[in-house]
Amino acid sequence: MFPALETELKPETLSDPYEDFMHHHLQYYGYFKGPTCLPSAGHAQIDAVGKDPLMLSSPLLRSRQLLYDELDEVNPRLREPRELFSFFSSRGPLQAPKWPIECEVIKENIHHIEWVPPEPEYFYQPTGDEKVPEIVGEEQGTVVYQLDSVPTEGAYFTSSRIGGKRGIIKELAVTLQGPEDNTLLFESRFESGNLQKAVRVGVYEYELTLRTDLYTDKHTQWFYFRVQNTRKEVTYRFTIVNLLKPKSLYAVGMKPLMYSQLDATTYNIGWRREGHEIKYYKNNMDDGQQPLYCLTWTIQFPHDQDTCFFAHFYPYTYTDLQCYLLSIANNPIQSQFCKLRALCRSLAGNTVYLLTITNPSRTPQEAAAKKAVVLSARVHPGESNGSWIMRGFLDFILSNSPDAQLLRDIFVFKVIPMLNPDGVIVGNYRCSLAGRDLNRHYKTVLKDSFPCIWYTKNMIKRLLEEREVLLYCDFHGHSRKNNIFLYGCNSNSRKHWLHERVFPLMLSKNAPDKFSFDSCNFKVQKCKEGTGRVVMWRMGVINSYTIESTFGGSTLGSKRDTHFTVEDLKSLGYHVCDTILDFCDPDQTKYTQCLQELKELLQQEIHKKFSNFGQDVDLEASWSDIPLSDIESSTSGSDSSLSDGLPAHLLNIANELNQKMLLKKTKKKRLQTRKQRDEQYQKNYLMRELKLAEDTQGRARFASTLQKQPTLLKAPEKSSSSVMRNEKPRLNETQLSGRDKGTSLEPPLISLVLPKNKETIQTQLSGRDKGTSLEPPLISLVLPKNKETIQTQLSGRDKGTSLEPPLISLVLPKNKETIQSKKPGFTASCSPKRSTNSGLGPAPDVKANWPRTRYPATRKDRSAVAAVYPSLHIYTYP
């Protein structure tokens, strides 16, 4: 299956130069263990080719990238592409899992045998007399085990390595004082293990604290740890004190799992359900944050000095998956129709495997006609029951059963057996090393933060472009409901109305004692838009499901009130294959019967809903027009808001950006109504008038001073020259205004454009006011480093006399040309608005020393108007 791992090189065949390079390259990085070819002989033959072209036909130089038939002729087909990563080697060890560098990992290899109990394991029946131990904590107890390598709050994943944290592994368990010391020795620093602290609060009583998902402060559900130094015929009590879910299957009879090492080696007995006095209750210690819940149980160990394990459910680790895939790769029959590829690498660098299962097609048309089925599991690492269902599916689809061969003939199966290997390795319950629930981020564009999800979605998108995807199933576990059921998506198309419910109904008929159709739900909630089920449905996969398997057992048929075993879960994988055949049977009898049954069930459900509201409805008329989402309640899945949002390593960056944004000046809130805008305008107007009234006296004094000393505007030579050198020519604007009771004076707008040439601009402006005579003053401005003078003359006449426009003459240095322009006079106006020309206005770095104002004048005293002149703003630029 893996040509890259084959080393059978014929001694008389020379290597291709490209292959010779790749051998050295892969061997250098540890991916290739095979022998390299002799470069000297290869180079000698290549040199000989240049001298003798006939040697091109020599069998010694044939490329091993092409396939040859029995007649030694080239077949135009390339060999299978070589793997980029050395997945497995029958002569070497498996690829060791990579851990975050904060995690300590013991060197022992943990392995459990598979075993099916000969008798059904029934639920625990509560008596009502179960003891509820009070939580005392480490203040009154003795800490016998505590992890000190847990990432602190606010930390995020940075890097990983095989074996986790560097350095010597510490002994976290207490040291026994002698053979009579009966203190239990705890350990969880192995693959998928989860226990953070153990406190001894009695001789045989221990309080246990679970570790939250790495880089989060949530999700304490999965537990898996080891105890040693046991005593038989003694009742021990264990109490987990920091569970987060208010409801649990432990409250309705579910038992924890125990594994005895001595029983496994001696009697070949594996995991079994054990425990008495099981109680799930609320923790009485309130930390002021979210409420915590406790799980307590008692147990008697079967042997003295035994090594035992406890787990929430049957563990299935990343190493277990690799061992299983290795057996497929080494099977000469299965490897012909099961191709193993690397979909991507996880955040920690662990391989996410992709299996393509189908029989070889005889023609390209036959290959293109095949529909696809996509299956995935373990997006939530603590839901190991999904891996056991996937294991049962793979066992059947890779077998030599006639049904399995038929499925491989008509379908292409794309299987991702473990979507979140990092979370599985470190013992998380729900999140990846990004600190987020991957099953809420199928719409993500953050490929580097969620590579497993991004590449999965991209693979399915490409698959949809090639062929129809008949079915998408993502295997999960459920902690609050018994049996197996699924979540789907209601079809909005009248053509496919109720078709998405046919497959789960068929599955319930094929597995009546395990699968509950009544527990299925097809409502698409807004909070589930990021799940794989909804995203694939919106991409065009009608039959898109999340299959939920309980951590407990069955309440149906012959398996009523019994726990599920690994064999029960594996059998469901077989039933999925059987249901696919029924669903695609050319004889549509079963399909039609299921559709009719669904319509009848839906009618009954509608009638029941309306009866509860005390209403009568005619189901014979338009009952099918009632939206299905109005009939169904919301799913009882986990709250997506707990694990939504940016990955942990981006949260710090986002917080810093938010703080910077808060420091910036916030924009003024826009007024929404006309009344609010009018009130704001009045307020601003009154404030402006008040300010102008305060400045009136000072401006009048300045105007009289200006009349007495006209040379006051002479600028200092040194400062003006610096301005002329640094400032670019731009447009100036001067505005004068005056107001008198009954008289309106609108000052002319004088715009001076001073170009780079040294030309003179003469501008004539005129203004008129009825019955008012203004004699213009002469204002001289001496520019620095030149003796030229800017003379500005304003003229005007009184009532009954025509108005001659004033002449404004600006003489610029070193230029003898003059440009004269006249602008017709205009009537003064009281409007205070400026010109809307955006090119007008002073330079931003040069501000006027005097704000604009209005000057009082009366009709009766027009001589005062002629005596007092408004200030004239003139800005000069080079």
Query: Tens digit of pLDDT for each residue in 656-682?
Result: 666 666 666 555 556 567 778 888 888
Q: Is the pLDDT of residue 525 over 50?
A: yes
Residue 154: per-residue pLDDT: 73
Q: Report the alpha-carbon distance of residue 461 to residue 811 in Å, rounded.
A: 75
83, 191, 548, 746: which one is catalytic? 548
Residue 332 has what pLDDT?
92
> Residue 56 class from Cβ within 10 Å (0-12 exposed, 13-18 middle, 19+ buried)?
exposed
User: Which of 71 and 571 is assigned the larger pLDDT?
Assistant: 571
pLDDT one-digit tens code per residue, 59-111? 444 455 555 554 555 455 555 555 444 455 544 457 899 999 999 999 998 99
pLDDT digits (tens, 9 = 90+) for 276-309: 999 999 988 766 678 899 999 999 999 999 999 9
**Contact status, residue 242 vs residue 220, Cβ threshold 8 Å:** yes
Query: Residue 696: what pLDDT?
Result: 74
Confidence of residue 234 (pLDDT cuts 50, 70, 90): very high
The pLDDT of 822-840, averaged and rounded, is 40
Q: Which two tokens stand for residue 742?
A: 């009954």
**E strand or H helix at 576, and its extent?**
helix 566-583
Reduced to 3 states, what is the DSSP secondary structure of residue 266?
helix
- Phi, psi for residue 331 in degrees, rounded to 5: -85, 115
Categorize the per-residue pLDDT at 760 as very low, low, confident or very high, splitting at 50, 70 and 90.
very low
Please compute the mean of the pLDDT values over residues 641-649 and round it to a whole number: 59
Residues 756 and 728: beta-carbon distance below 8 Å: no
Q: Average pLDDT, whole number, for the chain? A: 75
**More confident position, 175 or 10:** 175
**Strand ranges for 358-487 from DSSP E:** 371-377, 411-416, 469-478, 484-487
Percentage of the chain lying above the pLDDT 90 cut: 47
Question: Is there a contact between 332 and 243 (Cβ–Cβ < 8 Å)?
Answer: no
Task: Give tens-digit pLDDT for 483-500.
Answer: 999 999 988 777 778 899
Residue 535: CA count within 13 A, CB half-sphere: 19
**What does the pLDDT average to over 617-624?**
52
Which of these, 299, 310, 307, lies nearest to 185 by C-alpha position? 307
pLDDT of residue 614: 65
Asked whether residue 190 carries a pLDDT value surpassing 60, the answer given is yes
User: What is the torsion angle, in degrees rounded to the nearest 10, for the CA atoms of residue 35, residue 39, residue 40 and residue 42?
Assistant: 110
Residue 523 CB: number of other CB atoms within 10 A? 17
- Residue 873: pLDDT band with limits 50, 70, 90: very low
β-strand pairing of 98-100 with 197-200 = unpaired
Mean pLDDT of 130-142: 90
Backbone angles phi, psi at 159, to 5 degrees: -160, 170
Calculate the CA 838 to chain-centre distance.
46
Q: Which residue has the higher pLDDT, 671 or 274?
A: 274
For residue 539, is pLDDT > 90? yes
Q: Using 50, 70 and 90 to split pLDDT, how confident is the model at 339?
A: very high
- Give mean pLDDT, residues 349-373: 94
Per-residue pLDDT of 771-818, as tens digits, reads 444 444 444 444 444 444 334 333 444 444 444 444 444 444 444 443
Say if residues 473 and 374 touch (Cβ distance below 8 Å): yes
Q: Which residue has the higher pLDDT, 372 or 74?
A: 372
Question: In this structure, how many other beta carbons lie within 10 angstroms of the beta carbon of residue 736?
Answer: 20
Residue 627 binned pLDDT confidence (cut-offs 50, 70, 90): low
Give the angle 703-706-708 at the CA atoms, nearest 5°: 115
The yes-or-no verdict on residue 563 having pLDDT over 60 is yes
- The candidate with the shortest Cα–Cα distance to 182, out of 135, 146, 148, 233, is 233
The pLDDT, as a whole number, for residue 377 is: 97
Integer Cα distance of 254 and 260 in angstroms: 19
548 is catalytic: yes
- State how far the Cα of 478 lies from the Cα of 248, in Å rounded to an integer: 10
pTM passes above 0.85: no
